Amino acid sequence: MFKLGNVKKSCYNKFMLSNKNILIGITGGIAAYKICELIRMYKKANANVRVVLTPNALNFVTKLTLQTLSNNEVYVENFTIDEYKPEHIALTESDIFVIAPASANTISKLANGICDNLLLSTACAFNKPVLVVPAMNTNMWNNNFVQENLSKLTKCGYHILEPDNGFLACGTNGVGRMREVEDIFEKTLEILSGKLKGKKILITAGGTKEKIDPVRYISNSSSGKMGLALADVAFSMGADVTLISTFKVEKPYKNVLTETALEMEKVVKENIEEQDCVIMTAAVADYRVKEVSEQKIKKEKCDNLTLELIKNPDILKEISSLKTKAIIVGFCAESENLLENAKIKIQNKGCDYLVANDISRKDIGFNSEENEVYILDKNLNIEHIEKNTKLNIAKQILERVFE
């Protein structure tokens, strides 16, 4: 009944690389022009991008183009940054160094510790992941010295994204064509998304809708933004995410659409056994209509309408009692006595963590891009996360749960 949404291999969203600093190194090769599109992709994914070039790279792409796309200064020569740190040290303060296209010359110098330009000096001092994306003539690619140098880089922990077989700028067909920018983007994401790699996380989001008749329903003010933020951030950290929501989203992770509390309960229970963590952010209606009218209720026929409501299942409490391997994280929204009510709720529900937020405030919570929460654990230890964007709060929640 409930089908998973389509998962697009190369789909990306604007939060995948939030707070990530990406350094791009461009060497002298015709494929350098393609890096302009890669920069745009990184920027759309909310990354901060800086670019360093070899002098020969300027024969294929201009500094002005790269500065405009990256919204940052572009570096070619040493000793031009107006800081106390030399360029090759200042530029290492990034999360990943992507060298694309990487020429045979640069690859060979990297493998032998030669630092005769800014890009090479930066790589030598870089102690975080380095992704090398070669592009060169087929004979150069097959050269024994080049292959030996690539092996040396691999043994030293460098990531190599090997070239494709195709038509080359020199007019020949063969291996040496730089991989497509979508492949480079996905490889970057894969490298940076290691914290939750291999973890399966199920997240519920949105307010459930309990039918009265074919056109009317009982619901609440939940926008689902907190749950969506958690799903986006969990995916960006490498998790295998399943979002069970009351709204449709186009994301690169699985999305199961539900409407009522009973539907959401069914899907959660069907999928919980394989999960490492379940995060219940959805605002599940406490009650549903006992008898749903099959036809639209006509207001002309009744001046007063009385609905008999019956309790919905307490999904959080039920899945907590199943004692699966999954870490169970609940959410509670309170308008008064926030911490007192949260302490009672986590003991009553039996979940591992409870995230409490104050819905009486107009500047956070429902329909807002920001929130401020308290995280409680089973021992009633409390951690306060001050007001911030829901994306940043989602990141702190996930880090706290999986620390």
Is residue 170 among the annotated active site residues?
A: yes
Question: For residue 31, what pLDDT band results from cuts at 50, 70 and 90?
Answer: very high
Question: For residue 86, what pLDDT band results from cuts at 50, 70 and 90?
Answer: low
How far apart, in whole angstroms, are the C-alpha atoms of residue 124 and residue 172?
A: 33
Question: Averaged over 22-50, what is the pLDDT?
Answer: 95
User: Where is pLDDT greater, at 264 or 198?
Assistant: 264
pLDDT tens digits, one per residue of 90-131: 688 899 999 999 999 999 999 999 999 999 999 999 988 999
Active-site residue identified among 11, 115, 156, 170: 170
Amino acid 356: pLDDT: 95
Question: Averaged over 41-55, what is the pLDDT?
Answer: 93
How far apart, in whole angstroms, are the C-alpha atoms of residue 102 and residue 257?
A: 44
Amino acid 368: pLDDT: 80
- Give the end-to-end CA distance of the chain in Å, rounded to a whole number: 36
How far apart, in whole angstroms, are the C-alpha atoms of residue 181 and residue 37?
A: 7
Question: Averaged over 163-172, what is the pLDDT?
Answer: 84
Question: Averaged over 74-98, what is the pLDDT?
Answer: 73
SS3 (DSSP) at 359: coil
SS3 (DSSP) at 48: strand
User: Where is pLDDT greater, at 102 or 187?
Assistant: 102
pLDDT tens digits, one per residue of 230-258: 998 888 788 999 999 999 988 878 999 99
Q: Taking each helix axis from N to C terminus, what angle separates 35-44 and 63-70, rounded to the nearest 10 degrees?
A: 10
Q: Is the pLDDT of residue 85 over 60?
A: no
- DSSP assignments along 139-171, one per residue: HHHH-HHHHHHHHHHHHTT-EE-PPEEEE-TTS
User: Where is pLDDT greater, at 78 or 74?
Assistant: 74
pLDDT tens digits, one per residue of 277-308: 999 999 999 999 999 999 999 888 778 889 99
Q: Is the pLDDT of residue 8 over 50?
A: no
Give the chain's mean pLDDT.
89
Question: For residue 87, what pLDDT band results from cuts at 50, 70 and 90?
Answer: low
Question: Averaged over 385-389, what is the pLDDT?
Answer: 89
SS3 (DSSP) at 365: coil
pLDDT tens digits, one per residue of 135-150: 999 999 999 999 999 9
Question: For residue 3, what pLDDT band results from cuts at 50, 70 and 90?
Answer: very low
**Residue % of the chain over a pLDDT of 90:** 68
Phi, psi of 279 (to 5 degrees): -115, 115
